[in-house]
Structure 1
């Protein structure tokens, strides 16, 4: 049974979400504030974390950063404010997806199942993946580490997946819709702007000059291409 950590300070909302998840055969633990949620995230063996943005004592952005410093598991952020969505996109916090309130519990369950299924496929395919080394860039799919001129670049889950996919197909152009469906696996529920943001964050981490990239090239009107 998959274990879910639900970090939400509204008890009634938290209990409703827990009930729907448990009906769908998930084991759910709850945390009601940021610090306890972060501690449980780092000490517990969870398969996915549902993280509300507005939390007492420590907001969801801070919790997300703390989790990403030590763990690589799916994080679904929940927000009720449009400006929070912009922050999630713009800062590259490491969240795998976001969902806005109000939402139907069935949608939450669908998002959870989609991310867990995709993460399991990723883990299951690790052994068949090969290291990629091109110019000063080295990508190890087993350890999920990226080295740039022998210095480690720390990428989030989706940043790594996106970089590895593009680098695995050098010279090919992929549209945003294709990349979103391939990496996130839930194109009907997503936002193609997410791809743009992740490409920008990857460039900031692996390029000497993000404004003049040498690895991931923008093909205007078509998408992105990894330079071979």
Structure 2
């Protein structure tokens, strides 16, 4: 079996070395890039399974690299950032990243997140076996196309927003804690930052517009998806 290739784009040699050391021990093949342009070229010329992408890069920053990759691929992207402000996280998720880690980070935790992402790549979210589409009021979910429409308008959802929405739709009325959502949607056994869930809930509510009311907060517990029955 061919080794899975992990692209590490970071201009710091020390960061690349330590990531390389941990990944090679787990039988991954590491492709290194020292700047944004180099990273895009390496991505185009290799069969990459996961991208580890620094935000602050020479020649082309990580945000632009992410946009370029997302224009043609849904490959999992983990961003590395020296800052942890909410704006950076929200901006990254809106671009379609799958996760982020703030420097300095634990290489073991990064490895665990990579394994979790790869472990869920072929079983993203359980969806109805017989239903290819589901209509809820004005919202149409096309499970085959992983698309959601409001009327005739295609809603712009990141891959993880869709995963979260699809999970909620198929578990309507059930309350899930943030840790449970991380486990079910992201695949983390309590390794992720639970604030990641809050950020995606905020994004999903904004995307749903007037139907944001479907996602309710169970105070002190987590979140629930519930469509009000018409009388």
2:179, 2:194 within 8 Å by CA — same for their partners in 1?
Answer: yes
Note the C-alpha offset of 1:23. 2.2
Give the match for residue 83 of structure 2: 81
Cα distance in 2, alignment partners of residues 183 and 115 from structure 1 = 10
Cα distance in 2, alignment partners of residues 57 and 65 from structure 1 = 15
108 and 169 in structure 1: CA distance in 2 versus 1, 3 angstrom threshold: closer
1:33, 1:55 within 8 Å by CA — same for their partners in 2?
Answer: yes
7 and 91 in structure 1: CA distance in 2 versus 1, 3 angstrom threshold: closer
Give the match for residue 34 of structure 2: 32
TM-score (norm 2): 0.84
3 and 141 in structure 1: CA distance in 2 versus 1, 3 angstrom threshold: farther
Alignment of 1:192-203 (within 5 A): 192-203=194-205
Structure 1 residue runs without a partner (length 5+): none
2:104 matches 1:105: no
Alignment of 1:38-57 (within 5 A): 38-42=40-44, 44-57=46-59
Structure 2 residue runs without a partner (length 5+): none
135 and 126 in structure 1: CA distance in 2 versus 1, 3 angstrom threshold: closer
Deviations 1:6-63 (A, max 9, x none): 1111233213322321221112212211123234335542111111111112221222
2:37, 2:59 within 8 Å by CA — same for their partners in 1?
Answer: yes
Cα distance in 1, alignment partners of residues 128 and 49 from structure 2 = 20
106 and 128 in structure 1: CA distance in 2 versus 1, 3 angstrom threshold: same
Q: What is the aligned residue count?
A: 223
1:33, 1:58 within 8 Å by CA — same for their partners in 2?
Answer: yes
Could you tell which deviates more after superposition, 134-143 or 160-169?
Answer: 134-143
Note the C-alpha offset of 1:142. 2.5
Give the match for residue 13 of structure 1: 15
Give the match for residue 216 of structure 2: 217
Give the CA RMSD over aligned residues.
2.5
TM-score (norm 1): 0.85
2:78, 2:100 within 8 Å by CA — same for their partners in 1?
Answer: yes
2:156 matches 1:154: yes
